[in-house]
Amino acid sequence: MKIIFIVLLITIITGCGEHNSSTVETNTGDILANELIQTDPSADFFILNDRVYVRNKEVKNGQDDLGESLGKIESHYIKEGEFNHLMSTKLPLGTEIYRIKNENSVDQVIVKVNDRLVIYKALPEG
């Protein structure tokens, strides 16, 4: 009985101690962005909610297709740096990103660059 109590006590003490983990978390978006930039250093893409969006096509007269605002580009990618939310490789700071009106998914979004509208498509994860 004493042995069971001692084993239980040791288990509780070691289980409640601080764990110093050196594990670095990497999400799928970071992996895809790094692969893309290594394959094509001039790629035009941005990160939104851990997803990578790549330039697809320009839209003519698409003002009516703008849905809710999803954010604005906040930073530029610096060679061999980390990728962050609302970071772009090409788009100017402050560029607005919108959901496509009446679309439930955000697999494609519209970006407003000056007076032009451009569709960016999310890369599939996995």
pLDDT tens-digit readout, 26-36: 678 889 999 99
* Residue 80 tokens, joined: 């061999």
**Is the separation of the CB atoms in 44 and 95 below 8 Å?**
no
What SS3 string covers 95-117?
CEEEEECCCCCCCEEEEEECCEE
Instruction: Sort strands 75-76 and 87-88 into parallel, antiparallel or unpaired.
Output: parallel
CATH number assigned to the domain covering 26-122: 2.170.150
Question: Per-residue pLDDT tens for 38-73?
Answer: 999 999 999 999 999 999 998 877 778 899 999 999
Q: Where are the domains of the chain?
A: 26-122
* pLDDT recorded at residue 65: 84
Give the Cα-Cα-Cα angle 45, 46, 50 (nearest 5 degrees).
125
pLDDT at residue 98 greater than cutoff 90: yes
With a CB cutoff of 8 Å and minimum separation 6, the contacts of 112 are 66, 95, 96, 97, 98
Q: How confident is the model at residue 11 (pLDDT cuts 50, 70, 90)?
A: low
What pLDDT is attached to residue 18? 54
pLDDT of residue 126: 63
Q: What is the pLDDT of residue 79?
A: 86
pTM for this predicted structure: 0.76
Alpha carbon distance, N-terminus to C-terminus of the chain:
51
User: What distance in Å separates the CA atoms of residue 76 and residue 37, rounded to the nearest whole number?
Assistant: 13
The predicted structure's pLDDT at residue 17: 53
